[in-house]
Amino acid sequence: MRSSTAQQGLSPPNFFWVFSESGPIDCLPSNLNVLVSAGVAWENSSADKFGTVWTPRSPDNVFIDSGGYQAVSRWGGEYPYSPTELFEYASQMGAEYVATMDLVCDPNVESDLSSTERIEQTVENTTEVVAAYEASSTNYDFQLVPVIQGWKPREYLECVDAFRDRGLIREYMGIGSVARKHANDEIHEILTRLNNNLPSTDFHLFGAKLSIVRDHRFWGQFESCDSAAWRFRPSELGRDKMYAESKHEKTKFFYTYKQKINHAKSQMQAQTTLF
């Protein structure tokens, strides 16, 4: 895991901006780290194929989320596309990282599947995705990122145990179902347990809130994160519309959020010891 010295501050996490636009978004700068959900792309098409999700020009790094939220909330726990179709879409997007096909365990995402069943299916899906990747004759340029799923801290460890039994532990893994958790204490407990259990693994936090990036307890504990929060309309503007829609609003909200992220990163870089 990343560390610090007396001479060098903590290394800030790589931040990925989540995009789900169905039209051009040329008002934002290029060379960003971007995350796109394959599930959103699939739903952006009227046919059984991936539709277009627009991102700013020339992204620095592209992370493809497999669509675990849509798989539970829309598709009854079954993906409408195969691992190979996901790989082909990721290649078209120029992805560096691709999350394996997980199922979100957030109980607020209604499903007939229990959290245990979602974890079990996540493990089965991950086994299938890794097998398809390793058996393919195509030399893909992206790295697979298995996603550890759960809701309660012990469930994440149970998922890790199942991954370990199948040889699915990797140096870089995702942690799912944290986006809607309101208590940073619980997320910190989950991350601490996973770091202790997998000391040689770096983690990506899917849907990390700004408060996590600001919270010194998390500094140096994860490698990367993503957020779509930059698109949310501030409450003082009214919530008749949840997301920024106009080019003006998208530009304003993006740079406001970017300033907050950069401030948190600068504080992190100035900190020379882990708490």
Domain boundaries, given as residue ranges, for the chain: 14-227
CA distance 79 to 190: 27
Q: Is the pTM of this model over 0.85?
A: yes
CA distance 198 to 159: 12
**180 in Cβ contact with 106 (< 8 Å):** yes
For the CA atoms of 186, 190, 196, 197, what is the dihedral angle to 10 degrees? Answer: 150
The burial class, CB within 10 Å (0-12 / 13-18 / 19+), for 78 is exposed
Tell me which DSSP letter residue 28 carries.
S
pLDDT in tens, the chain (275 residues): 444 433 456 788 999 999 998 888 889 999 999 999 999 999 999 888 999 999 999 999 999 999 999 999 999 999 999 999 999 999 999 999 999 999 999 999 999 999 999 999 999 999 999 999 999 999 999 999 999 999 999 999 999 999 999 999 999 999 999 988 878 999 999 999 999 999 999 999 999 989 999 999 998 999 999 999 998 876 655 555 677 888 899 999 999 999 999 999 998 888 755 55
Task: For the domain made up of 14-227, give the CATH fold.
Answer: TIM Barrel (3.20.20)
How do 143-145 and 97-99 pair as beta strands? parallel
**223 in Cβ contact with 14 (< 8 Å):** yes
